[in-house]
């Protein structure tokens, strides 16, 4: 994407004011997306992102700049201009690149670029038909499809020269059920670090039906009770709780400066014995996987919590300096427009030994959250919130009626200790995660969990 000679010249220019490390990130990415509304293609969009990000460190200070221009003189000028923010004596940086061979851990079988738009539209129509015909109450169906291939090149003054290619695709269906004045939506989707072969492996009809089933089920749901109750968070998307409540607080972005409630707690017991969690960027073709992270470090499986003990954080190059700890291969960015920092890849709570049915049976009055929606966290205080997309009351050990409008709130430290049971039905899901280095694909997952009590915000008093 850029010659080694140009890269060396740009890196040298970046080091011209005393920086002690410089890095160039080149990105060339092709995007395709199609939207089908009520069975008709309404939008189809393709485009190419191209740009170069240059980062310079001097101790704990960092400077970042980017541009879409790839000619040598312009890049050198941009690097020099950024370097002026640092004031020091240039270090004689003789750069000798060692080209890292591609790991190719996540092979793509059917590159989306080789699939016609008509084939993609045909696939979308299947999900639409399944969703639309699920129930007479289904009023609206929107199907979205996207794929992209991102080519990156990362070179730095330590001699790193590594290229990676990430291909991802995602398929989502939203349904709206309607009866008289009442409207209710449902959503379901699947994404992976795969090519079009994903759709040979999954059933898009099921995605359509499931989306409509949620909308229809929730249409007549009564308002959620409010108060503190035991809650069962089901597998798969339930993982968003760990992502929000704990994952963000374990990123060096907030730990390095002591701004996280989990800072300084390595080796301490922060969760109940039944909790073990990992962040793993190597999971085969998963949504948050890649060969190398956006600093060119090979991805790896990082143990975060083992039997309730805090074992590790997610750490990028810059924060590794501050924390005096090793990098973990999980430095990520949305695009060349963002300096990379420690982020989650695929974050999982691991299987336990309890049974889902026993969890439900153990609750006299509580909430079963089948699908969770999004949420957010304040990493300094650990306070999190997330929405329940599909939830039910649990009464006398049985799942009874659907409830809507439930929001779960609490703090990460508190909820980790209140996880009483972890089941054996692990499954993974995916989402887009927004933070300092932009919006990135993040995998999540867990088996069903029983939490002894969570504050549930709803509209009705229990």
Partner 1 sequence: MNEQFIEALFAKGSTKGFDAQEIYYVNNKNTEISVYQGQIDKFNVSEDGGLSYRGMVDGKLGYSYTEIMDESSIEMLVNEAYANAKVIEIEDEVFLHDGSGEYAEVDNFNPELERVSIEKKIQFMLDLEQSILTDDPRVKTMSQNSYDEVESIRRIKNTNGLDVTDQVNYCLAYAVAIVEENEDKRTGLGYDISNSFSDLSIEKITREATGEALKMLGAKSIKSVKCPVVIKNETFAQLFSAYMGILNAERVQKNLSKLGDKLGEVIASSELTLYDDPHLKGALSSSSFDAEGVATMKKPVIEDGVLKTFFHNLKTASKAGVVSTGNASKGSYKGTVGIAPSNLVIKPGEKSLEEVVSTIDTGVYILELQGLHAGINTISGDFSLQCYGYMIENGALTKPVSQITVAGNFFEMLMDIECFANDFRFSILSSDYTGAASVKIKQLSISGE
Among 89, 118, 200, 396, binds partner 1 (CB under 8 A): 118
Q: Does residue 50 touch partner 1 according to CB under 8 A?
A: yes
Among 1, 4, 46, 398, binds partner 1 (CB under 8 A): 46
Among 288, 375, 402, 445, binds partner 1 (CB under 8 A): 375
Site map 256..285 versus partner 1, x via CB under 8 A:
-xxx-x------------------------
Phi, psi of 27 (to 5 degrees): -130, 135
- Per the CB < 8 A criterion, the answer to whether 140 and 132 are in contact is no
Please identify, among the stretches 40-48, 126-134, 293-301, 308-316, the one whose residues bind partner 1 according to the rule CB under 8 A: 40-48
Q: Which of 71, 37, 296, 252 is nearest to 164 (CA)?
A: 296
Rank residues 102 and 182 by Cβ distance to partner 1 and give the closer one.
182
Q: Does residue 415 touch partner 1 according to CB under 8 A?
A: no
Closest distance to partner 1 from the beta carbon of 227 (Å)? 6
Q: Does residue 297 touch partner 1 according to CB under 8 A?
A: no
Beta strand 438-446 pairing with 346-349: parallel
- Per the CB < 8 A criterion, the answer to whether 120 and 145 are in contact is yes
Q: Does residue 365 touch partner 1 according to CB under 8 A?
A: no
Q: Does residue 458 touch partner 1 according to CB under 8 A?
A: yes
d(Cα 213, Cα 429) in Å, to the nearest integer?
A: 18
Rank residues 145 and 368 by Cβ distance to partner 1 and give the closer one.
145
Q: Is the dihedral of CA 277, 165, 439, 262 positive or negative?
A: positive
d(Cα 112, Cα 304) in Å, to the nearest integer?
A: 34
Q: Does residue 88 touch partner 1 according to CB under 8 A?
A: no
For the CA atoms of 208, 211, 215, 221, the dihedral, rounded to the nearest 10 degrees, stands at 140
Q: Which of 287, 296, 261, 216 is nearest to 384 (CA)?
A: 261
- Number of residues engaging partner 1 in binding (CB under 8 A): 80
d(Cα 38, Cα 171) in Å, to the nearest integer?
A: 16
Rank residues 237 and 356 by Cβ distance to partner 1 and give the closer one.
237
d(Cα 68, Cα 6) in Å, to the nearest integer?
A: 15
Q: Does residue 66 touch partner 1 according to CB under 8 A?
A: yes
- Per the CB < 8 A criterion, the answer to whether 56 and 31 are in contact is no
Q: Does residue 153 touch partner 1 according to CB under 8 A?
A: no
Interacting positions 237-256 with partner 1 (CB under 8 A): 254
Q: Does residue 406 touch partner 1 according to CB under 8 A?
A: yes
Q: Is the dihedral of CA 382, 387, 391, 393 positive or negative?
A: positive
Interacting positions 330-359 with partner 1 (CB under 8 A): 337, 339
Closest distance to partner 1 from the beta carbon of 356 (Å)? 25
Site map 163..182 versus partner 1, x via CB under 8 A:
-------------x-x--xx
d(Cα 231, Cα 367) in Å, to the nearest integer?
A: 5
d(Cα 373, Cα 368) in Å, to the nearest integer?
A: 14
Interacting positions 182-201 with partner 1 (CB under 8 A): 182-185
Q: Does residue 1 touch partner 1 according to CB under 8 A?
A: no
Rank residues 82 and 131 by Cβ distance to partner 1 and give the closer one.
82
Q: Does residue 404 touch partner 1 according to CB under 8 A?
A: yes
Contacts of 200 (CB under 8 A, 6+ apart): none
Among 12, 16, 65, 211, binds partner 1 (CB under 8 A): 65
Among 4, 42, 90, 398, binds partner 1 (CB under 8 A): 42
Site map 122..151 versus partner 1, x via CB under 8 A:
-----------------xx-----------
Residue ranges in 133-174 assigned as alpha helix (H): none
Q: Does residue 400 touch partner 1 according to CB under 8 A?
A: no
Return the structure tokens found at 323.
Answer: 């924390």
Rank residues 63 and 154 by Cβ distance to partner 1 and give the closer one.
63
Contacts of 71 (CB under 8 A, 6+ apart): none
Q: Does residue 305 touch partner 1 according to CB under 8 A?
A: no
Among 2, 44, 72, 76, binds partner 1 (CB under 8 A): 44
Q: Does residue 224 touch partner 1 according to CB under 8 A?
A: yes
- The CA radius of gyration of the chain, in Å to the nearest whole number, is 24
Q: Does residue 461 touch partner 1 according to CB under 8 A?
A: yes
Phi, psi of 274 (to 5 degrees): -80, 0
Q: Does residue 2 touch partner 1 according to CB under 8 A?
A: no
d(Cα 157, Cα 14) in Å, to the nearest integer?
A: 10
């Amino acid at each position: 994407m850029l010659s080694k000679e140009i890269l060396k010249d740009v890196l040298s220019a970046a080091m011209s004011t005393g920086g002690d490390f410089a890095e160039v990130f080149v990105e060339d990415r092709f995007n395709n997306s199609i939207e089908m509304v009520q069975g008709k293609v309404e939008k189809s969009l393709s485009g190419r992102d191209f740009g170069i990000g240059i980062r310079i460190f001097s101790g704990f200070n960092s400077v970042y700049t980017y541009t879409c221009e790839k000619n040598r003189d312009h890049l050198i000028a941009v690097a020099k201009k950024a370097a002026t923010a640092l004031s020091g004596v240039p270090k004689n940086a003789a750069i000798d690149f060692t080209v890292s061979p591609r790991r190719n851990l996540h092979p793509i079988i059917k590159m989306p670029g080789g699939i016609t738009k008509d084939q993609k539209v045909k696939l979308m129509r299947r999900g639409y038909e399944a969703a639309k015909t699920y129930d007479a109450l289904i009023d609206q169906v929107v199907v979205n499809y996207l794929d992209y291939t991102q080519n990156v090149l990362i070179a730095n003054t330590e001699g790193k020269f590594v290229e990676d290619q990430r291909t991802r695709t995602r398929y989502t269906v939203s349904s709206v059920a309607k009866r008289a004045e009442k409207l209710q939506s449902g959503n379901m989707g699947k994404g992976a670090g795969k090519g079009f072969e994903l759709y040979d492996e999954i059933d898009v009809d099921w995605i359509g039906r499931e989306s409509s089933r949620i909308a229809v089920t929730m249409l007549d749901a009564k308002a959620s009770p409010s108060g503190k109750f035991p809650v069962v968070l089901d597998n798969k998307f339930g993982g968003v709780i760990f992502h929000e409540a704990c994952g963000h607080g374990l990123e060096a972005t907030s730990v390095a400066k002591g701004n996280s409630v989990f800072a300084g707690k390595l080796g301490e017991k922060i969760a109940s014995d039944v909790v073990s969690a990992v962040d793993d960027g190597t999971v085969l073709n998963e949504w948050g996987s890649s060969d190398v992270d956006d600093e060119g470090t090979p991805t790896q499986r990082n143990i975060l919590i083992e039997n309730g003990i805090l074992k590790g954080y997610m750490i990028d190059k810059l924060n590794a300096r501050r924390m005096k700890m090793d990098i973990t291969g999980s430095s990520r960015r949305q695009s060349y427009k963002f300096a990379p920092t420690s982020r989650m890849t695929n974050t999982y709570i691991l299987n336990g030994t309890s049974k889902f049915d026993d969890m439900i049976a153990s609750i006299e009055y509580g909430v079963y959250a089948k699908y969770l929606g999004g949420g957010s966290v304040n990493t300094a205080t650990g306070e999190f919130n997330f929405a329940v997309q599909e939830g039910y009351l649990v009464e006398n050990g049985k799942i009874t009626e659907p409830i809507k409008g439930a929001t779960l709130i609490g703090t990460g430290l508190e909820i980790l200790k209140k996880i009483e049971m972890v089941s054996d039905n692990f499954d993974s899901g995916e989402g887009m995660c927004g933070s300092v280095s932009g919006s990135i694909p993040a995998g999540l997952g867990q088996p069903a969990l029983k939490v002894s009590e969570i504050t549930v915000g709803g509209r009705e008093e229990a």
